[in-house]
Structure 1
Amino acid sequence: MIQPISAGIVSALTGFASSFVLVVAGLRAVGATGQQASSGLLAVCVISGLCCILLAWRFRMPISFAWSTPGAALLVAAAATTDDFGAAVGAFLVCGTLILLCGLWPALGRAITRIPKPLASAMLAGILFPICLAPITAAVEIPWLALPVILTWLVLFRFAPRWAVPAAMVVALVGIGVSAGPNALAGVSLLPQVTFVVPQFDPLVIVSLGLPLFIVTMAGQNVPGFAVMSTFGYTVPPRPALLASGLGTMAGSFFGGHAVNLAAITAALMAGPDSHPDKSKRWVATVTSGILFIVLGLAAGVATALISAAPPVLITAVAGLALLGALVSAVVSALENPAHRIPAIATFLVTASGVVIVSIGSAFWGLLVGGVVMLWSAFPWRRSTPRTVAKG
C-alpha cells in the first residue's frame, strides 16, 4: 500500500503549495483581515480533507476534493467589488447553497452545464488574465525578488513540471524571509485560529461575486472533476459529490472559506495508474491526501503571516505562474469553435477589463455581454427576397 500512500502525499503537497497563496490573496482582496484569511484557509483545508476521507471511504473510489482555485482567482479579480468581508461571506454562502441545490435538484445542475462552454471558458480566462500578467509586473518592480522565482519556475517547468510551482513558492518564501528580516513574524499568532464571520447578504455582492463564484466552481472544477474521474473508469455518484461540495462550502463560509469542490488536476494523480495498478485500491491515495490536507491546514497561520509580510505583487506573481496552465486551457476552450469566437472574445475583454458597473463586477457583465453577442449573431433574421414581376 506504499504506492497509493505516496501518491496521496504528493497530491496533497502539490495541491496545497501550488495555490494556497492565491486563496489568502483572494480572501484579503475582498476585505478579510489576516486572522480571517488564516481562518478561511484552515476551513477549506479541513473541509476538503474531511470530504476526501469520507467519500473515498464510503464509495471506495479516489473521489477527491479541494478548494476552488478559479474561485480564489475570481476573488483577486473582484477586489474592487467589495471590501466588506461579511458581504463576501454572504456571497460564499449563496454559492454553497446553489451547489447544494444542484445536488438536490439535478435540473439546476444540467442548466449550469448548458451555459455555452465558450462563454464560461472566456469568463474564466478573463478572470485569470490580469493575475497571469503579475509575473511581468513583479519582474519590473521588484526584480531582486521576482526574477529568482520566475527562473526557478521556468527551469523546473522544463525538467519537473509537477514541482515547478511549489519550488517557485519556496523560493518566494525564502526571498520574503530574507527581505523582511528576523522580525517579520513578530507579534503574529502562528497557531491555527478559527474565526466566525457573520454573513451579510448584499444583493449587488451576491450578483457580482456569489453567482460568478458558483459558475466558475461548477464549470471550472466540479464538472471537470467528474470528467477526470470518468477518464480513469470511475463513475462518481453526482448527488453525494455535489451535496458534499455544497454543504462543505456552506459550512466553511461561516469561517471565511470561499468554496470547496471536486478536485480535477490533483484527482488525476490519485485516480490514475501511477497511484496503484489496481484501481480498486486507489481510494487509499485520496484518504491519505485528505489526512495530510487537514495537517497542512494547521499551518495556515504561518502561511498567512508570511504572505502578509510580502509585497502584494510578488504573491500575485506566484499565483500567476500557478495559473498559466489554466489560462491556456481556458483560452483554447473559448476559441475552439470558430462560430463562437466573437462572443467569447467579448466575454473575455469585458471580464478582463475589471469594470464595475452599479457595484457589480466584470465577471457578471462579461458573461452577460457575451450572451447577448452570441444570441445576436445566432438570431435567425429573415431576409426579404425580391418579388419576381411577371412579364407580358
Structure 2
Amino acid sequence: MSQANPETADPATISPSPARRGIPIQALIGGVLAALVGFGSSFAIVVQGFGAVGATGAQAASGLTIVCLATGLVMLIVALRTRLPIGIAWSTPGSALMIATGAVEGGYPAALGAFVFAGALILVAGFWRPLARVVGAIPPALASAMLAGVLLKLCLAPFAALSVDPGPVVAVIAVFLLVGRFARLYAVPAAVAVALVLLIAVEPLSAAARVASFGPHFEWVMPRFTLGAIVGLGLPLFIVTMASQNIPGFAVLAAFGFRPAAGPLFRATGLASMLIAPFGGHTINLAAITAALIAGPDADPEPARRWIAAVSGGFAYLALAALAPLAVATVTTTPPVLIQAVAGLALLGAFGSSLVAGLKEEADRPAALVAFLLTASGLSIAGIGSAFWGLAAGLAVLTLHGRLRRAR
C-alpha cells in the first residue's frame, strides 16, 4: 500500500503567492459544494443500508445524524492539524454492502457490533502497518469483483422500476443522463432533486408533515457481537471501506501533489467509526468521489489554500446533520421504487469501475467472475453473507490456478 508512506506534500509546490492572501472565497464554496454533493448523492443509500440491517426510522435518523457529525468533525480536525485538503466521507460502498447483506444474526444490535469491529480494524491498521498491507495484498481483481457483486442488484433497480412506476422513474433517469452529459458530478444530486419535487407534487401533505422531522436526533443502542455479523458484515465492511474508499482517496490526493501519512488518518477515522457505532453510524473514511473538489484546482488555484475547502466542508457536514432526520423521513415515506431508482443511479459509476477492474486481467477473470456472481447471488451460509463467501471463493479459484501470488 504505497499510499501509507508518511510523506507530506512538497512545501515548494504549495506555497501561497503573496497576491492571493485575501479571503479564499473559492475554497470556501468548494468545500460546501463537496459536502452538498456527497450528502445529496448518497444519503438515500445510507438510509436504505440502515433499514436493511434492521434499524427503525428513528434509529436510521440517529445513524445518519451521527455519521454527518463525525464526518464534519474529523474533516475539521484533520484539515486544521495538517493544513492539507483531506476530504472525509461516509462509506457509500459500505452502505451498499449493508443493503446486499440484509439482516444479520442478532439483528440491529449485532449490525452495530459489526460496525464497531470494522472501525476497530481500521484503527489497528493505523498503528500496525502489516494489517494495512494485508488489505493491500488482496488481489485488486477480487476486491473489485466483490464490490461489483454487492452493487449489481442495486444498479438494476432503476430499470426494474420502469415496469412498476414508469412516469416518475423515466423523469429521474432522463435528468440523470442529461445533467451527466454536461456535469457528471452533479447528475445524481439533480436526480435526487427531481425525485423530491415529484414527491412533493404528488404528496404535498406528507411532504409538509416531514418538515416536522427537522432537527438532530440520537438514539443509543448497545452493540452485540456475533460471529455471523462480524464475519459476514464487519470484515467485508472493513475490506470494502479500505479498498474502495481509503486507497482511492490517497490516490486522488497524490494526484494533486498531497501525500499525508496514512497512519494518523486511519487512527482518526477508525476511532470515530467505533465511537459512533452505538448511535447507528457506520464507517467513515477518506473521500474518494468528492476528493477532487477539495484537493483539486477547482477548490483554489493555490494548492496551499485548498485545505480551507476541507474546513468549510467540515462545517457544511455539521450543518447537514440537522437535515438528517428530515432526509430519513423523506426516504422512508417515499415510494420505494423511486428511492431505489435514485440509489441505483448513484452507484452506476462505482459498479462500472468495479466490474471493469475486476475483469480486466484475462488470467484472473475466472476467479473474479466467481467472486462477482457468488456475491451477487445473496447466498448466506451459517449466517454469513455472500460478500465474504464471494471473496473466499475467488481466492480459492486464484489458488487453484496458481495465480494468487502473482495477482498480489
TM-score, normalising length: structure 1: 0.94
- The equivalent residue for 1:24 is 47
User: 2:299 is aligned with what amino acid?
Assistant: S
Query: Which runs of 4 or more aligned residues in structure 1 lie more than 4 Å from their structure 2 counterparts after TM superposition?
Result: none
- The equivalent residue for 2:16 is none
1:31–1:82 contact (8 Å) kept in structure 2 = no
- The equivalent residue for 1:223 is 247
| 1:154 and 2:139 correspond | no
Runs of 5+ unmatched residues, structure 1: 381-392
| 1:339 and 2:346 correspond | no
Shift of 1:379: 7.0
The RMSD of aligned alpha carbons is 1.5
In structure 2, which of residues 302, 314, 321 is the aligned counterpart of residue 290 of structure 1?
Answer: 314
Q: Distance in 2 between matches of 1:83 and 1:139?
A: 35
After TM superposition, list the pairs within 5 Å mapping 1:63-102 onto structure 2: 63-81=86-104, 84-102=107-125
Shift of 1:176: 2.2
Q: Secondary structure at the match of 2:206?
A: coil
Greater shift after overlay, 144-153 or 208-217?
144-153
1:185–1:306 contact (8 Å) kept in structure 2 = no
In structure 2, which of residues 186, 210, 213 is the aligned counterpart of residue 163 of structure 1?
Answer: 186
2:145–2:372 contact (8 Å) kept in structure 1 = yes
1:29–1:83 contact (8 Å) kept in structure 2 = no
Shift of 1:177: 2.4
Please say which structure displays the higher CA radius of gyration: 1
Q: Distance in 2 between matches of 1:86 and 1:180?
A: 34
User: 1:279 is aligned with what amino acid?
Assistant: P
Q: Distance in 2 between matches of 1:178 and 1:126?
A: 36
Q: 1:247-299: CA deviations, max 9, x gaps?
A: 11111111101110010121111111121121111000010001001101110
How much identity, in percent, do the aligned residues show?
Answer: 49
Q: Distance in 2 between matches of 1:209 and 1:180?
A: 36
- The equivalent residue for 1:203 is 227
Q: Distance in 2 between matches of 1:179 and 1:83?
A: 38
| 1:240 and 2:264 correspond | yes
Shift of 1:184: 4.8
Shift of 1:168: 0.4
Q: 1:81-118: CA deviations, max 9, x gaps?
A: 45811110000000000000000111111111101110
- The equivalent residue for 1:125 is 148
Shift of 1:185: 5.7
In structure 1, which of residues 377, 381, 392 is the aligned counterpart of residue 401 of structure 2?
Answer: 377
1:30–1:83 contact (8 Å) kept in structure 2 = no
Q: Distance in 2 between matches of 1:134 and 1:171?
A: 17
- The equivalent residue for 1:49 is 72
Q: Distance in 2 between matches of 1:79 and 1:312?
A: 16
In structure 1, which of residues 274, 282, 285 is the aligned counterpart of residue 298 of structure 2?
Answer: 274
Runs of 5+ unmatched residues, structure 2: 1-23
- The equivalent residue for 2:131 is 108
Q: Distance in 1 between matches of 2:332 and 2:140?
A: 36
Q: Distance in 2 between matches of 1:66 and 1:75?
A: 17
Q: Distance in 1 between matches of 2:181 and 2:91?
A: 27
Q: Secondary structure at the match of 2:401?
A: helix
In structure 2, which of residues 160, 167, 186 is the aligned counterpart of residue 137 of structure 1?
Answer: 160
In structure 1, which of residues 40, 48, 54 is the aligned counterpart of residue 63 of structure 2?
Answer: 40
| 1:4 and 2:4 correspond | no
1:29–1:75 contact (8 Å) kept in structure 2 = yes
